[in-house]
Structure 1
Amino acid sequence: MKRPWIGVQYWENPIFMHWPVPYDVLRSLVPEPFQLDTFHGRAWVSIVLFRSPRSHLRWGSGLFSLSSLSQVNVRTYIRFYEEPAVYFLTVYTNSKLSVLGARWLLSLPYQHAYFDGGSRTSFRMKQTNGDSFGRFSAHVYPSSERFTPEKHTLAHWLTERYHFYTIKGKHIVKATISHMPWRLSEARYNIKQNNLLAITPETRDPLVHVASSQTTYLYPPQVRGCQALAQF
């Protein structure tokens, strides 16, 4: 029986950018006991960008609500006991409350960032600490009709992920989201600046999609084991 959701966000035309990365490079960034997932033997890293004009908890939505949330997720793909999931390498957001909550509750690598106004197809952000890392600027334009990725395709493998794992102390924690299957468009893009992750290949063009807007629900995290006892 599915437990009730605890939070909701409306994701406005999220943008997916994906790069293949050498397996050994990504393996060094993903802790045991997680298995690095691959598609036809190739590992991937993705940047997912979205804005949410409304986000709130299920209870007390007037008190615990966020408006104009912007977020950039830098993630890769894992399996834990054969369950496909994502692992966040870094998450940038303009919400200081989200940064504090994600770090405290789940030890997720959230960073506070400043986002330019832009538009639905434009993202510009930089970390608030002013260093040379954590800067991204791009324009993305849909270039095809919407489609639903078929199972066993790369687009489906990269986007239809409903769980993420993290390690908090000695505990392995799983969190789950739910939403309707993604409707994607192929996209043209112009990346003006990107140093969110040093392993992102500058010489290789990413696979880029723009998705239809939709509502996403977050469910209570679950402890799925102890890091020290997990065996593979």
Structure 2
Amino acid sequence: MFSVRPLTVVLADVCFCHWPVDADALSRSIPDWLTVETADGDAWVTAVAHTISGVSSFGVDLTGPVAAVTVRTYVRGPDGHRGVRFLAVYADDALTATVTEPALRLPYREGRLGRRTDDGEYRTRRTLDVDGRCVLDVRYTPGDGETTTAPPDSLAAFLVERHRYFTTGGFGTHLVGSVGHDPWPLGTVDADVSGTLLPTLGLPDPAGSPLVHYSPGTELGLSPPRPLWLD
């Protein structure tokens, strides 16, 4: 499956913010051909705040550093394969939006993203919607220790190690794409997360406090989605 990955994306300074939510409530925001997957008794919605250090296609560089936030949840397709369903993509670069919408069939949303480092002690990523309201504010300080990978069958692995995404094409076509990468290197982080992201996207309120993972980054190989029957 997916022997050609025309897009290579390098991510850096990645902060995963995960919220537990009620699975039945979340299922109303997911197409009925997908099944919401749960872990530790909850469904999960994740905002991934990151910097896209570069994007290339067949060795040709397309864009430089871009701030972005992707919002996703965890599902199984009709064949039972695990993957993610993207709920929103915020990016501060027009080319990124041009790629995500028609090529990858991802739900781009307009907004403004900011990132800064304060006195070398902590970093702040802020996402504003088109009306200037703060939908996500993440203040975090990565630890100095070595990175590790998530143990198999752990909650961390459930939340970060996904290699498929499901989306919908024209005329309601069921599509699946691949995301190839090595296991995410994860490090410790102190973080404070706030904002109105979930209700802004019409998603259920969190059932608990957010869980945060941090990674210095990795390289992804992306394949545009194709009909499930070709999978």
Whether these two folds match at TM > 0.5 is: yes
Cross-structure match for 2:101: 103
SS at match of 1:53: strand
Corresponding position: 1:47 with 2:44: no
In structure 2, C-alpha distance between the alignment counterparts of 1:106 and 1:216, rounded to whole Å: 14
- The more displaced of 211-220 and 68-77 is 211-220
**Inter-CA distance 213–102: structure 2 relative to 1 (3 Å threshold):** closer
Cross-structure match for 1:230: none
Q: Deviations over 1:1-42 (max 9, x none)?
A: 651210111110211111110111111111110011111432
SS at match of 2:197: coil
**Inter-CA distance 40–115: structure 2 relative to 1 (3 Å threshold):** closer
Corresponding position: 1:214 with 2:218: yes
Contact 1:74 1:90 (8 Å CA) reproduced: yes
SS at match of 2:44: strand
**Inter-CA distance 158–70: structure 2 relative to 1 (3 Å threshold):** same
Give the letter for the 1:178 counterpart. Answer: G
Give the letter for the 1:110 counterpart. Answer: Y
- The more displaced of 85-94 and 202-211 is 202-211
Contact 1:182 1:212 (8 Å CA) reproduced: no
Runs of 4+ in 1 over 6 A off after TM superposition: none
Question: Aligned-pair distance for 1:221?
Answer: 2.1
Structure 1, unpaired ranges of 5+: 227-232
Give the letter for the 2:17 counterpart. Answer: M
- The more displaced of 113-122 and 77-86 is 113-122
Question: Aligned-pair distance for 1:181?
Answer: 0.3
Q: Deviations over 1:135-158 (max 9, x none)?
A: 322211224642211111100011
SS at match of 2:98: helix
Q: Deviations over 1:77-109 (max 9, x none)?
A: 000111110001111111222223322335421
Cross-structure match for 1:229: none
Contact 1:8 1:55 (8 Å CA) reproduced: yes
The number of aligned residues is: 220
In structure 2, C-alpha distance between the alignment counterparts of 1:88 and 1:2, rounded to whole Å: 19
Please, what TM-score do these two structures have when normalized by structure 2?
Answer: 0.86
- The more displaced of 36-45 and 75-84 is 36-45
Structure 2, unpaired ranges of 5+: none
Question: Aligned-pair distance for 1:52?
Answer: 1.5
Cross-structure match for 2:183: 181
In structure 2, C-alpha distance between the alignment counterparts of 1:148 and 1:200, rounded to whole Å: 30
When the two chains are superposed, the root-mean-square deviation of aligned CA atoms in Å is 2.3
Question: Aligned-pair distance for 1:203?
Answer: 7.8
Contact 2:20 2:206 (8 Å CA) reproduced: no
Cross-structure match for 1:16: 16
SS at match of 1:118: strand
Contact 2:17 2:46 (8 Å CA) reproduced: yes
In structure 1, C-alpha distance between the alignment counterparts of 2:92 and 2:104, rounded to whole Å: 18
SS at match of 1:14: strand
Please, what TM-score do these two structures have when normalized by structure 1?
Answer: 0.85
After the TM superposition, which residues 108-119 of structure 1 pair with which residues of structure 2 at under 5 Å, given as runs?
A: 108-119=106-117
Instruction: Pick one of 76, 91, 113 that aligns with 1:79.
Output: 76
Contact 2:126 2:137 (8 Å CA) reproduced: yes
Contact 1:106 1:168 (8 Å CA) reproduced: no
